[in-house]
Amino acid sequence: MKDLLDYTSNKNHDEKRQGEALNVILQSSDIKNNKHFYIESYGCQMNFSDSEIVASILSNQGYGITSDIFKADLVLLNTCSIREKAEQTVRTRLRSINEIKQQRPGMLIGVLGCMAERLKSKFLEEEKLVDIVVGPDAYRSLPELLEDAQDGQKGVNVLLSREETYADISPVRLDKNGIIAFISIMRGCDNMCSFCVVPFTRGRERSRDPKSILAEAKDLFEKGYKEVTLLGQNVDSYKWKGEEKHQEKEAEVLLNFAQLLESIAKINPLLRVRFSTSHPKDITDEVLHTIAKYENICNNIHLPVQSGNSACLERMNRNYDSAWYKERIDAIKSIIPDCGISSDIITGFCGETEEEHQDTLSMMKYVQYDYSYMFYYSERPGTLAARKYQDDVPEDEKKRRLTQVVDLQYQLSLQSNLRDIGKTFKVLIEKVSKKDTNEWAGRNSQNKTIIFPKENYKIGQYVNVLVETANKAMLKGVVVSLADDNL
């Protein structure tokens, strides 16, 4: 049977993303110390975005970037702790990197991100696999930690911060295509979903100064980028209260998420805007109306349900019930009729009964998700659930339920894609199709991948594509015209 661990219908949250990340070759004049670093990112988009901050900090120190691990003086893994499997993958990778180090004795190995935060100095002391350990809020201290490590001392900084947003750091874009970029708008999470380790690894929620967000988006557009994705663990709770008043609970909110979204959309109609992730308890009608008002804000909302059953949601500490979630879905469908909707779903959470599981399947049918990221529950040490509930659904049962959820999602995705045959969508051309080099791949506003013959079109153009065929993963079609925006 196919391994269902962390199985998703689309792409895997724990997937390693490397290679593409390493194609920014800094000008040789920037490489002052003749040293090179190599970085691999695991987990969520936030980690990927953080790697770009790290690249910026290191390039200011004179480091060049390399995509060849055998040429690296410094190897960094930006890690994820969300499920046990993600951590196992990193451990295995660290062991193989240590074998490379045997041939390159001066090479330093660093662990960044959530695993660094969760395991702190365990890597250095017990496992002796790494030279530096740096948590998500401590990347500014990388230069000093590297100096320590070069002098033979181990470098650790896992301090979490209530203020750090790296607002003033210009990320070095690691994605080579120059069309799509991620902008981090907030850090941390205050939600304390009982299954989730993120509040412990990424700390308290804080919003980034909107001036710096806007400046970053404008700069990207001027450099030719056509799409930005605003990132946060819970973007709907973005709030800017001014520099000083930031920590004060009662202070007046000067800018909320809907207003931030609008200001980014106004930069230029040719700049598409996406965002992730929304929280069902916080997503407002104001946000929905803002999406509906601007053609360049994509009609796509990732609204993780986690479970379709209210008692299970209560144990998950999600702060909404299934009726509330359905009401939010109804609001999305009435305000943005052609909105793509996706979800995260966990099967076999503590105490989940067969009836509760069936409610998740019913919820999926109610919403008709276009795609979902689906996981079986993996207990994380220190979380609310680990302390309060028994991880009592046997692994086989978790996997059986996951198979049902995945099978249903495949059906829903296929139905959703088949409904698009005969429709024409505006698509931003992003890259060459993986399956056929004569075809382009791009996405429509709803975040569906569309493949079509290249003809004479170019990456970065918007084209209108008529959908002719579909499967559960993608749409295929032909360009009927260049979208007006290019003219």
Would you tell me which residues interact with ligand SF4 (CB under 6 A)? 189, 191-193, 196, 198-199, 233-234, 279
> Using omega within 30 degrees of 0 as the cis cutoff, is the peptide bond preceding 66 cis?
no
Considering only residues 347 through 406, tell me which ones interact with ligand 5AD, judged by CB under 6 A: 375, 377-378, 380
Residue 13, binding choice from ligand SF4, ligand 5AD, none, Cβ under 5 to 8 Å by partner class: ligand 5AD
Cα separation, 456 vs 440, in Å, equals 11
Q: How far is the CB of 389 from ligand 5AD (least distance, A)?
A: 12
User: Smallest Cα–Cα separation from 72: which of 110, 29, 17, 115?
Assistant: 110
Q: Does 196 bind ligand 5AD (CB under 6 A)?
A: yes
3-class secondary structure, 186: strand
Q: Does 346 bind ligand 5AD (CB under 6 A)?
A: yes
Q: How far is the CB of 278 from ligand 5AD (least distance, A)?
A: 11
Cα separation, 428 vs 295, in Å, equals 13
Residue 359 tokens, joined: 């409610």
Q: How far is the CB of 212 from ligand 5AD (least distance, A)?
A: 26
Residue 234, binding choice from ligand 5AD, ligand SF4, none, Cβ under 5 to 8 Å by partner class: ligand SF4
Q: Does 47 bind ligand 5AD (CB under 6 A)?
A: no
Q: Does 203 bind ligand 5AD (CB under 6 A)?
A: no
What is each CA distance from 227 to 271, 344, 470, in whole angstroms?
5, 23, 24
Residue 189, binding choice from ligand 5AD, ligand SF4, none, Cβ under 5 to 8 Å by partner class: ligand SF4
Q: Does 448 bind ligand 5AD (CB under 6 A)?
A: no
> Which residues, 6 or more positions from 423, have their beta carbon under 8 angstroms from its beta carbon?
466, 467
Cα separation, 487 vs 480, in Å, equals 15
Cα separation, 153 vs 121, in Å, equals 13
User: Smallest Cα–Cα separation from 124: which of 162, 159, 154, 166?
Assistant: 154
Q: How far is the CB of 33 from ligand SF4 (least distance, A)?
A: 37
- The residue (of 199 and 477) whose beta carbon lies closer to ligand SF4 is 199
Asked if residue 173 lies in contact with residue 182, where contact means CB atoms within 8 angstroms, the answer is: no
Considering only residues 81 through 100, tell me which ones interact with ligand 5AD, judged by CB under 6 A: 82-83
> Which residues, 6 or more positions from 456, have their beta carbon under 8 angstroms from its beta carbon?
none
Residue 420 tokens, joined: 């698009």
Q: How far is the CB of 310 from ligand 5AD (least distance, A)?
A: 17
Residue 393 tokens, joined: 């659904």
Q: Does 5 bind ligand 5AD (CB under 6 A)?
A: no
Residue 199, binding choice from ligand 5AD, ligand SF4, none, Cβ under 5 to 8 Å by partner class: ligand SF4
Residues at the interface with ligand 5AD (CB under 6 A): 13, 82-83, 195-196, 304, 306, 344, 346, 375, 377-378, 380
